[in-house]
Amino acid sequence: MGLRIRRTIKVFPGLTLNLSKSGVSASVGVRGARVTVGKTGIRKTVGIPGTGLSYTDYQRHGETSGAGSHLGDADPHAIPFGAIVAVAFVLLVLYLVR
C-alpha cells in the first residue's frame, strides 16, 4: 500500500490547484462537472452530485479521443459514445427524481 500526499488550493470558485508528490494539476468546473489538466493528461468527469454516480474520460497528452480514433477517417471532433451515454443517463435520473 502506497502513501499518497495531496494538497488542494482553491484559487477562486470553480478553479483549484492540486499539489502532490507526483506533480501539479489544475481543476476547473462546478459540482457535477469538472475538467482536470495535469502533466500526464486531461480528465473530464460528469456526475450526479450526492449519488456517487459519475463518468470519467481520460486522455493522455498527444492522444486523440473517441472510440474510433485509431481509424484514419475518424472525425476528430466527434463526441465519444460513452459521453453521450453518460449525459443521457444523467438526464434520465434527473427526470425521474424530480
Nearest to 76 by CA among 87, 84, 65: 65
Whether the Cβ atoms of residue 16 and residue 34 lie closer than 8 Å to each other = no
* pLDDT score of 69 more than 50: no
Helices and strands (DSSP H and E) totals, the chain: 1, 6
Task: State mean pLDDT over 70-92.
Answer: 61
Residue 49 cell numbers, joined: 452530485
* pLDDT score at 33: 87
pTM beyond 0.75: the answer is: no
Which pLDDT score, from 0 to 100, does residue 42 have? 87
